[in-house]
Amino acid sequence: METEKLFEITAYTENQVGLLSAIAGIFTRRSLNIEKLLVYPSQIAGIHKFKIITRAAEAQIQTVVLQIEKKVDVIKSYYEVDNERSCREIDDVRQFLQERETESNNI
């Protein structure tokens, strides 16, 4: 059995009603207890940020993060084991949104 650890999951999302329960449901169906939950505006205007702390096995967290990102109104989701947080995430989201903007102009 893979050992359980504390993970910090982040998700950058559109501001849509109902997204909190959609994301919470991904944890509930696995009986994963959310230890800490924060939802607040991110550094990018109009984009919300979820921060979720939970205890689980890493293999499970990988699928959880992908299932969060699968929600139509979720832009990106990540997880990290320890507290060392880089600024890569927000740059990644910015770059993704820029690329999508270009793609949308090409349609």
The residues that touch other proteins, with contacts defined as CB under 8 A, are 13-14, 17-18, 21-22, 25, 29, 59, 62-63, 66-67, 69-70, 72-75, 97, 100-101, 103-104, 107
Q: Reduce the secondary structure of 25-87 to three states and give it as a string.
A: HHHHCCCCCEEEEEEEECCCCCCEEEEEEEEEEHHHHHHHHHHHHHCCCEEEEEEECCCCCCC
Task: Give whichever of 86 and 104 is closer to other proteins, judged by the CB atom.
Answer: 104
Least distance CB 28 / other proteins (angstroms): 9
Least distance CB 68 / other proteins (angstroms): 9
Task: Give whichever of 15 and 33 is closer to other proteins, judged by the CB atom.
Answer: 15
Least distance CB 21 / other proteins (angstroms): 6
Distances (CA, A) of 99 to 6, 7, 57, 94, 96: 33, 29, 33, 9, 5
Task: Give whichever of 55 and 100 is closer to other proteins, judged by the CB atom.
Answer: 100
